Structure 1
Amino acid sequence: MFKDLWIDLDASAINKTGAGTVKRLVGLDAICPMFIGVRAPGMLRTFILELPRDSAPLPEIIPASRGLYFTVQITGDEILPDHASLILSSSAVGYNEIFASIAEDLYSKLHALTKKREVIAGFLSRVRLWQAFFEKQGDDGLSEEAQRGLYGELRFLKDHAFASAHNLETAVLSWTGPRSRQHDFQFGHAAVEIKTSTSKQHQKLQIASEQQLDETTVGKLYLYYLSVALIESGSDNLPSLVDDIRASLSLHTGALSEFNNLLIEAGYIDSQRSKYDSTGYSTRESAVFLVEKDFPRIRENEIRAGVGDVKYSISVAQCRNYEIPVSELAVSIKEVC
């Protein structure tokens, strides 16, 4: 959206004498003026939201995070007397490309709002969403493990949650993994944990905590296992799966908006899709296990006092006695969605 404008701003900031921000007004009809800019001499991209001074939140309302720097400036001039500037900046030049996506997201979500309090609330909400994005991201996009995990969760969402649901928005909201909940999907009292593996023989699944496969905290706990082969430049990759899901939601604007928010929280943005195009996936096997009885796992109440940060692995072969038809899981999904 602002590609050419960023190029112009970068050029102006490079030629600027002394410190300061070169900025341009965007959204002429917005109720709160918005600017994008580049701060010299550091060449950091910036988004600025202007609003009345008495409406400005405290600077510490948004804690510091990797990738972003937030501050509030109280200023005034002849054009905008007694006003405040909410300033969001890239914290390093290396984050400038991602910040371009952040600025476009803020503009697209805020410029049509008609009440100033809605603009402020929307701004703060989107900034927190992008902070969650940076918590999942490495400096060069999602790691291979994170890509594989996200692919598995999206494959389950499309092939099983959507296939069994009557309401696609409810199905999207069942995807709780990006929000760091205890399980990847929650369907009422039933939860689903997704594990995606690329190993060929004697497959083991990595369990992140003593709570992840503790079925005593939910009504039913299912483990969805997906075995995939990596295919160099395969057509079934992470971006293509995202596109397929968006196409399924194209007539459901609420569900699509929520899905896009969850992608950001999961660490995925479209401007980085070229990083993920080269890794394709081919499904070798999928299975559903019901976690119960003597299923190989550790429960939280089995941990001795003083022991924490438990991580362990389980053998897929030892889970086979607990395999159930996928139709049984579909029943739990249909009851909620």
Structure 2
Amino acid sequence: MKTMFKDLWTDLEASASHRAGPGTARRLVGLNAICPMFIGVRAPAMLRTFILEVPRDSAPLPDIIPVSRGLHFTVQITRDEILPDHASLMLTSSAAAYNEIFASITEDLYNKLHSLTRKKEVIAGFITRVRLWQVFFEKQGDDGLSEEVQRGLYGELRFLKDHVFPSATSLEKAVRAWTGPRSRQHDFQFGSAAVEVKTSASKQHQKLQIASEQQLDETTVEKLYLYYLSVAVIEGGADTLQTLVDDIRAVLSLQLGALAEFDNLLIEAGYLDSHQGKYNSIGYSIREYAVFLVENDFPRIRESDIRLGVGDVKYSISVAQCRNYEVSCSQLSIKISEAC
């Protein structure tokens, strides 16, 4: 996301810092938007805020958006000569530490709302985007994704680009098959077939970490595949998470619906372009990839294997013990093409 409001934030923070008392320094953005939008900085805490002006009788109740980390939502009734009988939907950073992330949230809201032509669509879109960002805060650390999570996301996106896109006839369906960011049981779902992606950076005796007893339980689907990706981590390498994201966006550039869905999924995965400085410091080199079919005596734990009272199961499996279950990528490609 471009930092389109960077200079404006600087000006607003300067104005807010010179206020004699509490208040908000704000500016109108989106001059032609059907619902006026403002960005501002609230003094004295210096919290960034996004304000959407809507008709009072269309305003949602304040509790329609639950409290979450990072964001504070309020509804205020406006009574002035410029916007009579309006309500202000105010989304504010809950602490100054979140101001940088809030800049990305503001630009996302602006980009999604300013071209809409119906006020009800604007309000519904605003609520949808705020809830999406609340999901982001549930998954995201304050300073970006950890190296382990970055590596896992890289593996899922590499599978999407290298295997799903070439096999699919619809890029939008291909993107929607990526279900991992939405906390589904498996990372990808292709009709009755599912794929779990595991990425490893260890050199010898590679083990894959399994997060629950459900991840490799094939009894819930017709076919369950495990896509294994072995990578070398290279400081300053060219093939970074950011470059992979950019490559996928380029593939989707003419498919606006697919591109919008992909960007939504990135947010739900906890990924922000504003953290690209951190993500660009780590590159990857692919050592090997393989596809395993989870069946018969494949080394895994099923949910039915767990005794009553036992939960939150985490375990590891040896890649060497999976070799007897390796199948060709073309077998998986057929399943992808049938669904996408």
**TM-score by shorter chain over 0.5:** yes
Per the TM alignment, residue 95 of structure 1 is displaced from its structure 2 partner at its CA by: 1.0
Give a deviation string over 1:264-291, Cα, whole Å, max 9, x none: 1111121111110010000111110000
Match of 2:100 among 86, 97, 101: 97
2:267 maps to 264
Per the TM alignment, residue 81 of structure 1 is displaced from its structure 2 partner at its CA by: 2.0
| Whole-angstrom CA distance in 2 between matches of 1:229 and 1:65 | 37
Per the TM alignment, residue 47 of structure 1 is displaced from its structure 2 partner at its CA by: 0.1
Match of 1:81 among 76, 84, 95: 84
Answering whether residue 141 of structure 2 is matched by residue 143 of structure 1, we say no
Normalising to structure 2: TM-score of the pair? 0.98
Per the TM alignment, residue 306 of structure 1 is displaced from its structure 2 partner at its CA by: 1.0
Answering whether residue 102 of structure 2 is matched by residue 114 of structure 1, we say no
Q: CA RMSD in A?
A: 0.9
Structure 1 outlier segments of 4+, above 4 Å = none
Per the TM alignment, residue 4 of structure 1 is displaced from its structure 2 partner at its CA by: 1.1
1:175 maps to 178
Give a deviation string over 1:138-170, Cα, whole Å, max 9, x none: 111001111001000000000000011111111
| Whole-angstrom CA distance in 1 between matches of 2:255 and 2:27 | 34
Answering whether residue 333 of structure 2 is matched by residue 334 of structure 1, we say no
Per the TM alignment, residue 252 of structure 1 is displaced from its structure 2 partner at its CA by: 1.2
Which segment drifts farther, 72-81 or 154-163? 72-81
Per the TM alignment, residue 15 of structure 1 is displaced from its structure 2 partner at its CA by: 0.6
Give the SS at the match of 1:235: coil
Give the SS at the match of 1:313: strand
Normalising to structure 1: TM-score of the pair? 0.98
Map of 1:1-40 to 2, 5 A cutoff? 1-40=4-43
| Whole-angstrom CA distance in 1 between matches of 2:144 and 2:218 | 33
Match of 1:289 among 289, 292, 300: 292
Map of 1:176-325 to 2, 5 A cutoff? 176-325=179-328
Per the TM alignment, residue 72 of structure 1 is displaced from its structure 2 partner at its CA by: 1.2
Structure 1: gaps of 5 or more residues: none
| Whole-angstrom CA distance in 1 between matches of 2:153 and 2:92 | 28
| Whole-angstrom CA distance in 2 between matches of 1:275 and 1:62 | 31
What code does the residue aligned with 1:103 have?
Answer: T
| Whole-angstrom CA distance in 1 between matches of 2:298 and 2:61 | 50
Which segment drifts farther, 202-211 or 69-78? 69-78
What code does the residue aligned with 1:11 have?
Answer: A
Give a deviation string over 1:37-95, Cα, whole Å, max 9, x none: 00000000000001111111111111111111111112312222222111101111111
- Number of aligned residue pairs: 337
1:155 maps to 158
| Whole-angstrom CA distance in 2 between matches of 1:320 and 1:32 | 58
What code does the residue aligned with 1:190 have?
Answer: A
What code does the residue aligned with 1:82 have?
Answer: D
Structure 2: gaps of 5 or more residues: none
| Whole-angstrom CA distance in 2 between matches of 1:302 and 1:64 | 38
Which segment drifts farther, 181-190 or 244-253? 244-253
| Whole-angstrom CA distance in 2 between matches of 1:228 and 1:17 | 56
Answering whether residue 54 of structure 2 is matched by residue 51 of structure 1, we say yes
Give a deviation string over 1:85-107, Cα, whole Å, max 9, x none: 11101111111111111111101
| Whole-angstrom CA distance in 1 between matches of 2:315 and 2:76 | 48
Give the SS at the match of 2:301: coil
Per the TM alignment, residue 253 of structure 1 is displaced from its structure 2 partner at its CA by: 1.3
What code does the residue aligned with 1:145 have?
Answer: E
What code does the residue aligned with 1:40 have?
Answer: A
Answering whether residue 38 of structure 2 is matched by residue 41 of structure 1, we say no
